[in-house]
Structure 1
């Protein structure tokens, strides 16, 4: 199976997010991310958030999961951030989400089947978070917010997912402070073989009962 795009669902989430985010006057990024999450029919949406971050994107993700019937989980570093997040979300009337308090890297280890992940570029150990994430069997969409800095311009998705995930496509969008988006294909999480790499295969000869090891 793989992610399948639904323009109708994307459009509905986009419009609903535009209406809600007028409260925050920050809808340019939020409406786009919401449309992507809904359009790809994301069932498990995960984001990171901390005190002082904008809330519009979170509102958009809540809207998207309402349209897809999915689950929206936000990882916050401490209790203070969690309380601020709840307060900010309540202003827009959003209640269908879960909060995990703790280090993002540790929280990732307890989540399985992520098919839409949104992380701020300024998040510490961003690459490790991606490597620890257990993505869905349909593939996933990975997004880095605030990706327009000099350090972000040197970023390469392949350096993060090399040997583990297959990048279907990636693109940088000059929206807001910059969005880096990668669509990765379905994978069992095992390292992929590079071109020309050999492997050993065990083969049992039924007639002689002898076990052979063949290099391919």
Structure 2
């Protein structure tokens, strides 16, 4: 099964996020990401957050999860960060699931449909490499991206080219920059590091008697 876009759900999530973030300036990133997560009908939405970060994106993801009947999980590094994040989200009327721990370890036990990370953090590449994606594929969003390095090259370097590969990617100059990628559907229900093995098939032409070996 592949990701299927639903413009109706995306539009509803976009408008609900506009209403929820109307008191925040520069919330266009939250609205865009919310519409994307909802439009792709993401059932497991995962993001990382550190102290002092903005919560508008989180609000947008929470809104999206309510439209897809999915889970919105935020991974934070420690209890102090959890308290700050929870208080900010409760003030906005949201209560997402919060996991305390190293993000690159926490994502190992999940099959993610929609992943949001911060490109400014040193561990964002490790998080992406450890993430497991669902059988429908996934959408990856890197916030605070930069054009100093070509976004397509930067993202593709984090995948092995097998079942973990990027179908397409784009850089959007929204907010402080967004790198967005559609990750291919993995084999056996996950985006694991398993690479499909080639098979050699033997064929014999009945008329000529010649033997062919074909790689599939």
Q: Normalising to structure 1: TM-score of the pair?
A: 0.85
RMSD of aligned C-alpha atoms? 2.2
1:19-48: CA deviation from partner (whole Å, max 9, x where unpaired)? 111122231100000000000000000000
**Cα shift at 1:106:** 1.0
| TM alignment of 1:123-138, pairs within 5 A | 123-138=121-136
Aligned position for 1:16? 16
**How far apart, CA to CA, are the structure 1 residues paired with 2:201 and 2:151?**
45
Aligned position for 1:141? 139
Q: Normalising to structure 2: TM-score of the pair?
A: 0.85
Q: Is the 8 A contact 1:6 1:40 kept in 2?
A: yes
**How far apart, CA to CA, are the structure 1 residues paired with 2:150 and 2:82?**
27
More moved, 35-44 vs 102-111:
102-111
Q: 1:141 to 1:118 in 2, by over 3 A?
A: same
Q: Is the 8 A contact 2:151 2:170 kept in 1?
A: no
Q: Is the 8 A contact 1:121 1:152 kept in 2?
A: no
Question: SS in structure 2 opposite 1:122?
Answer: coil
| TM alignment of 1:1-216, pairs within 5 A | 1-95=1-95, 97-111=96-110, 113-148=111-146, 150=148, 156-164=154-162, 165-188=164-187, 189-192=192-195, 199=198, 216=215
**Cα shift at 1:70:** 0.4
**Cα shift at 1:108:** 1.2
1:144-197: CA deviation from partner (whole Å, max 9, x where unpaired)? 00002636869521101133423221000000000000001201224446xxxx
Question: SS in structure 1 opposite 2:158?
Answer: helix
User: How many residues of Structure 1 are paired with residues of Structure 2 in the alignment?
Assistant: 200
Question: SS in structure 1 opposite 2:145?
Answer: coil
Moved over 3 A (4+): 149-155, 190-193, 198-203
